[in-house]
Structure 1
Amino acid sequence: MIRARTSILLSLAAAMTLSACSEGQMFDENDPNRQAKQGALIGAVGGAVAGRLIGGNNNDTVKNTLVGAAAGAALGGVIGNQLDKQEAELRQQLGNNVAITNTGDRLIVTMPQDILFATDSAALRSDLQADIRTVGRSLLDYPNTTVQVLGHTDSDGDAGYNLDLSKRRAQAVASLLISEGVPSSRVQAIGRGEDQPVASNLTAEGKQQNRRVEIVILPNA
């Protein structure tokens, strides 16, 4: 009976978490601490599942589940709170052309390539480096994170050429972050080419959205 009740609770908690993540129904979008709360919920579910998998008799299973849930909630809340704070600071500091997405477990800072690079070039425009340097200083303020710099292109031209260009552009942004003092061990440059579009490549507007550099900030667990 205890095992059955625990399984039911875990299933309900997982369903609630999926609802919070996919639909945002459990948290007010205007709540500045929404990601901290969501992170705590996700961490609680993950911790509960991990605690249950430890095994043991029924009493041990329940105890492990509760301990895991509490530990996961605490860790998830800390990570979510950190992301909320860093997101708010970056929104105040970055220009209007930069988009910031907070998923609850990472920040994604998206910059259009058109404002960073000339056509077919991987050389950063010197007059448009301020936002990247701002992100670099933010990374120094939040050292317990790793960073992925992802380059993306539209589908015009040869796919192999686009992949190489996206890699070189990602490396250019990563190098500028490192020049601001971010340890190179924290930064990874990755080219995605035309493989991960966010809009249709059949329109000029869609292609413009697809030409982008994403700086993904991942808190270390």
Structure 2
Amino acid sequence: MNLRVITLLAASGLVALGACAPTDGTGTAGMSRTQQGALAGAAVGAVLGATRDSDSNNEGRDAARGAILGAAAGAVAGNVLDRQAQALQQSLSNPNIQVINRGSYLQVVMPEGILFATGSAAVSGAAQNDLYAVAQNLNQYPNSLVEVVGHTDNTGSAALNADLSQRRAQSVAGILSAAGVSSSRLVARGAGFSQPVASNDTAAGRAQNRRVEILIRPTN
């Protein structure tokens, strides 16, 4: 089996992965993240196994070995995210908080309405309980970096919203830190109204845009 064939097979595997990936972003439809990770790992491992062949005579064998090792590594990574997402969702008391498994990272979406009063960066008491649950989960799965991003709608000036979103992100990150998450893992930033998820032309859309996202990215 020559390298070109191996590469084509690997590419085909990744195309198949995209076709089978869940469309709702949660990992509950189609293949699980564990299965997706295994397939992606196998495809990449096959290419690496072939290209690292030392004698140029056993590309097929080396590709197979690479695929096995890559599948195992990918499955482990996918399984960890699956388990962390499930545990996190179960620990949250507010059903309006979304935990979305993006395949390579977890996205926790917390609407403004459950976190802050209008124009405020002080986190409500009820929301603090859920943030402590997030912190506990992060401490149980310590091999990740955590980015807290504040978002607003487009009401008011860009400068006002940039400042408010930054202060809100810092408030959330501060609670996570106070709950034991290492500050070296945490980054807080304000995106203002630069990353809307809905139209700012309607009240419902603006409400969706006012949010804090906690992005959990595995480091290994």
Cα deviation, 1:121-172, whole Å, max 9, x if unaligned, reads 1111223211111000001111111111111111111112211211111111
Correspondence for 1:161:
160
Counterpart of 1:76, as a letter, is G
**SS at 2:108 equivalent:** strand
Task: Confirm or deny: 8 A CA contact 2:96 2:111 kept in the other structure.
Answer: yes
> What's 2:171 paired with?
172
Name the counterpart of 1:17: 17
How does the TM-score come out when normalised to structure 2?
Answer: 0.88
In structure 1, what is the equivalent of residue 83 of structure 2? 85
CA deviation vs aligned residue, 1:199-218 (integer Å, no higher than 9, x gap): 11111111111111111111
Q: Secondary structure at the match of 1:188?
A: strand
Ranges in structure 1 where 5+ consecutive residues have no aligned partner: none
Given that 2:46 and 2:67 are in contact with CA atoms closer than 8 Å, whether structure 1 keeps it comes out as yes
What pairs up with 1:1-16 in 2 under 5 angstroms?
2-16=2-16
Between 155-164 and 134-143, the greater mean CA deviation after superposition: 155-164
Whether contact under 8 Å (1:3, 1:58) holds in the other structure is no
TM-score between the two structures when normalised by the length of structure 1: 0.88
State the alpha-carbon separation in 2 of the partners of residues 164 and 51 from structure 1. 49
Which sections of structure 2, spanning at least 5 residues, go unmatched?
A: none
In the aligned structure 2, how far is the partner of 1:216 from the partner of 1:38? 20
Q: Residues 5, 183 of structure 1: CA spacing in aligned structure 2 closer, same or farther, 3 A cutoff?
A: same
> Counterpart in 2 of 1:44?
42
Cα distance in 2 for partners of 1:190, 1:90 equals: 23
Q: Is the Cα contact below 8 Å between 1:197 and 1:210 reproduced in 2?
A: yes
- What is the correspondence of 1:4-153 to structure 2 with a 5 Å cutoff? 4-21=4-21, 23=23, 29=29, 34-54=32-52, 58-59=56-57, 61-94=59-92, 95-153=94-152
Name the residue aligned to 1:182: 181
1:30/1:130 CA distance change after superposition, 3 Å = farther
Percent identity over the alignment? 44
> What per-residue deviation string (whole Å, max 9, x for no partner) do you get for residues 2-35 of structure 1?
23321321221121122233658xx86287xx11
- What secondary structure sits across from 1:124 in the alignment? coil
Match of 1:143, SS? coil
Contact conserved, 2:121 with 2:164, CA < 8 A, in 1?
A: yes
Shift of residue 53, structure 1, vs aligned partner:
4.8
Q: For the structure 1 residues 141 and 124, does the alpha-carbon distance in structure 2 shift closer, same or farther, using more than 3 Å as the test?
A: same
Check 1:10–1:115 CA distance in 2 against 1; reply closer, same or farther (3 A cut). same
Work out the CA distance in 1 between the residues paired with 2:84 and 2:30. Answer: 16
Q: Structure 1 pair 172/23, CA: closer, same or farther in 2 (3 Å)?
A: closer
